[in-house]
Structure 1
């Protein structure tokens, strides 16, 4: 009887030791705990923005502390458009800027940023959906069809950008020679009044300016510029110089992680709508009516290559350009 008890105790002890030893082995095989993100090289960064829906995710990321959690403080600087912001980016007045893909690709192609190693694209921002890229005219004016635009002037926020590309593409798709229409650079907030005063005949607008012009002045949309050949076209994102990306890789990675979270949150319309009165200067009733596009959470070279291809087709790019080497990816988590 005593022998059996001793045997039972011995077997129990061996079993416990085996379990403990096994646990130790399992723990030893576990991957090391994830380390904290590397310290950013530049904690306070200047980011160029426009007062448009497209940049809602950045404002969401600021409000929700996503940048702060990454060790970044973002100072926003209002710019007229991507083409206008790139010179400031190159000179160091901005660290990162929001801009349309056309302006970034054009500047890379023509060597504008060669002294800073070229341009790098670091975060997607916005992709077209129907109703969010419209050309508007006076509600009681003479223009009622696309053909009526021949010989007329259309305001766009800057030349050589996404507005010019999509305008030319959709005009040509409707058998209108783009050369028979004049494009005039003008800040988007000024377009509604310029149309009403007959300074220009039409204006290429995005939200919230579309809804404001329709509600305030009764202006009418005669072209959806994100249709036909430009349906679902990628619109804009954030870029920096290769010099900044090389000297501040941790800063760029931190920016990407915070932006990915902001882009994700922007899929909730209510979240975007609540912020528009604060940074876009629209009243809450107008904010309820704006058309929203898509907010991608990662950079896709295939999608962005479509922009470069259309640019070559419609004369905004002199030669083919491979977009993928411009992308900085890997931290959008």
Structure 2
């Protein structure tokens, strides 16, 4: 019969063995930053992301500069695009993910494009999107009954938020005349009096103010569009279904990048001059909104519902169906 001392020694040995196994396992994969299981378990380690020269994508630039993707085991290439529609069109060919306004993404879904949202990029803050004019007499949103407004697309976020803000100011929606111009031609359109104002986002607002003395007629992130969800990232449904772990890792790094941008908006302003045609002095004056840390279906449904109300969509779009599995309120 084993002695009491023998039993105690045997028990101690078993406990030590168990602790060794737990410690080894934790060191390999359970402790934060331990090992590279996340990187080796993903379907692919390269991602091509379509971007445009807007404040919204500053966190991605910060992530590249600080090697956040590299540390996670992802090689990311940011690919400049000429338009949001073009970026979406290139999914599954030359792009894996693309940035676009939520309005553009939801409009494309309604037209039949199968997408899955991968992250929210930007949420409007004070004067981060606005109606800008060079006309000194256009000093309030209700001053012109039938304003001619430059927008990138007459069914984009600019047109949607302009209608909402001018309607609140008492301007009849039927009287608003939208004219389509790329951002880099809007200043010329205002100076030639082809339009009365232009809907712009930063840094184009600040650039127009500094370069030609343009003024803000109205912030378009007020009233019904206050804190409006502006843009995000999406992949094709096909790519998302085939690469769920890769995209989950992308969303994790994106969250860290968004948090870094939210914590230090000076960093956002500093990085702007590296990918937008603005100098440091102009970049330092740019109004910066909010960088959401996760996909929020309630917040995003607000965009889809406004699009439905304004007849931009043929019917109500259930945003929850566009989110990765497991995304909840």
Normalised-by-shorter TM-score class = 0.7 to 0.9
Which residue matches 2:34? Answer: none
Displacement of 1:300 in angstroms is 0.7
- 1:99 equivalent in alignment to 2:95: no
TM-score where L is the length of structure 1: 0.86
Distance 1:88 1:21, change over 3 A: closer
Aligned counterparts of 1:293 and 1:261: Cα–Cα separation in 2: 17
Which residue matches 2:259? Answer: 264
Which residue matches 2:131? Answer: 135
Retained in 2: the 8 A contact 1:56–1:266?
yes
Displacement of 1:232 in angstroms is 0.8
Deviations 1:64-101 (A, max 9, x none): 112223333333232344334322336x2322110011
Which residue matches 1:179? Answer: 174
TM-score where L is the length of structure 2: 0.87
Retained in 1: the 8 A contact 2:38–2:72?
no
- 1:247 equivalent in alignment to 2:248: no
- 1:144 equivalent in alignment to 2:125: no
1:298-317 to 2 correspondence within 5 Å?
A: 298-317=294-313
1:40-51 to 2 correspondence within 5 Å?
A: 40-51=42-53
Displacement of 1:313 in angstroms is 1.2
After superposition, the CA RMSD in angstroms is: 2.5
Which residue matches 2:33? Answer: none
Aligned counterparts of 1:173 and 1:181: Cα–Cα separation in 2: 13
Displacement of 1:18 in angstroms is 4.6
Displacement of 1:185 in angstroms is 2.1
Aligned counterparts of 1:198 and 1:46: Cα–Cα separation in 2: 40
Aligned counterparts of 2:42 and 2:256: Cα–Cα separation in 1: 18
Which residue matches 1:22? Answer: 15
Displacement of 1:245 in angstroms is 0.9
Q: Secondary structure at the match of 1:89?
A: coil
Deviations 1:141-178 (A, max 9, x none): 43222223432321112232221211111111122122
Aligned counterparts of 2:270 and 2:13: Cα–Cα separation in 1: 55
Aligned counterparts of 2:164 and 2:187: Cα–Cα separation in 1: 23
- In structure 1, list runs of 5 or more residues that go unmatched: 1-9
Mean CA deviation greater in 27-36 or 287-296: 27-36
Retained in 1: the 8 A contact 2:148–2:177?
yes
Which residue matches 1:6? Answer: none
Aligned counterparts of 1:206 and 1:170: Cα–Cα separation in 2: 15
Deviations 1:231-277 (A, max 9, x none): 11111010011011122223322322221121111011121122011
Q: Secondary structure at the match of 1:37?
A: helix
Mean CA deviation greater in 241-250 or 227-236: 241-250
Deviations 1:207-239 (A, max 9, x none): 111111111111111111111011111110100
Distance 1:39 1:106, change over 3 A: same
Q: Which has the larger radius of gyration?
A: 1
1:1-333 to 2 correspondence within 5 Å?
A: 18-25=11-18, 33-34=28-29, 35-89=37-91, 92-111=93-112, 113=113, 118-138=114-134, 140-267=135-262, 268-328=264-324
